Amino acid sequence: MMDWANRSLNALAAIAVVVAAIVYGSAGPAQAAPDDLSAALADRPSHVATNWIGVAAVGYDVVAFFTKGEALKGDKDITATHDGAIYRFVSTDNRDLFLKDPAALAPQFGGYGAMGVRMGKKLRPERSPAWQVADEKLFLFIDEDTKAMWNETAERNEKIAHAIWDTIRNVPPKMLLAPATN
């Protein structure tokens, strides 16, 4: 009976690692052992929205949003590190352009969903984020609905989001999702 329980617990632990790898954007469970996953999650910067291996902007080339007006997935072999996060690019030209002024080309609010920041949350866009370039700044959104809400009063929302961002920039995202206690 005890052997069956141990095998069941080991199977559940393996499933949890696979689910965590999928949720945090890895290519598969073979990339990290449980100890590696814990270390990777602990090392992620809280002020930049990254997946569990430290890739920002959901792996999209942030320069392409400006130059091509498209969301293009970056190449895992063409990267640059900025502000504790890894950015991927479709070309070395885009990477080199990014490195000239990364603060100007990196997404606002560390790549967290702009409307989420406006509401005091740090929500990481998943898969294909909604996005826009406005006033030469890149904004990412969780989806098209939050982008539309943002654009109803974009100037006001941006001012509020920047004020809130100054307060929550270094707060871990999970702490912002926890319910308030009295």
Question: What pLDDT score was predicted for residue 42?
Answer: 55
Long-range pairs, 119-126, Cβ under 8 A, ≥24: 120/164, 120/168, 120/176, 121/173, 121/176, 121/177, 122/46, 122/49, 122/168, 122/171, 122/173, 122/176, 123/173, 124/49, 124/50, 124/51, 124/58, 124/173, 125/49, 125/58, 126/25, 126/58
What tokens does 133 get? 């370039």
- For the stretch 51-63, pLDDT in tens is 989 999 999 999 9
Lowest model confidence (mean pLDDT) among 20-24, 41-45, 117-121, 176-180: 20-24
- H helices of the chain, where? 2-23, 34-43, 62-67, 92-100, 102-105, 114-118, 144-152, 154-168, 173-177
- What is the average per-residue pLDDT within 86-105? 97
Res. 16 pLDDT band, cuts 50 70 90: very low
Residue 141 has pLDDT above 50, yes or no: yes
Exposed (0-12), middle (13-18) or buried (19+): which is 179, by Cβ within 10 Å? exposed
Res. 134 pLDDT band, cuts 50 70 90: very high
pTM: 0.74
- For the stretch 20-47, pLDDT in tens is 444 444 443 444 444 554 554 555 677 8
- What is the average per-residue pLDDT within 99-115? 96
Question: What pLDDT score was predicted for residue 128?
Answer: 83
Closest C-alpha to 67, from 86, 94, 47, 49: 94
Res. 175 pLDDT band, cuts 50 70 90: confident
Question: What pLDDT score was predicted for residue 180?
Answer: 55
Residue for token pair 């969301």: 71
User: How many other C-beta atoms lie within 10 A of the C-beta of residue 182?
Assistant: 2
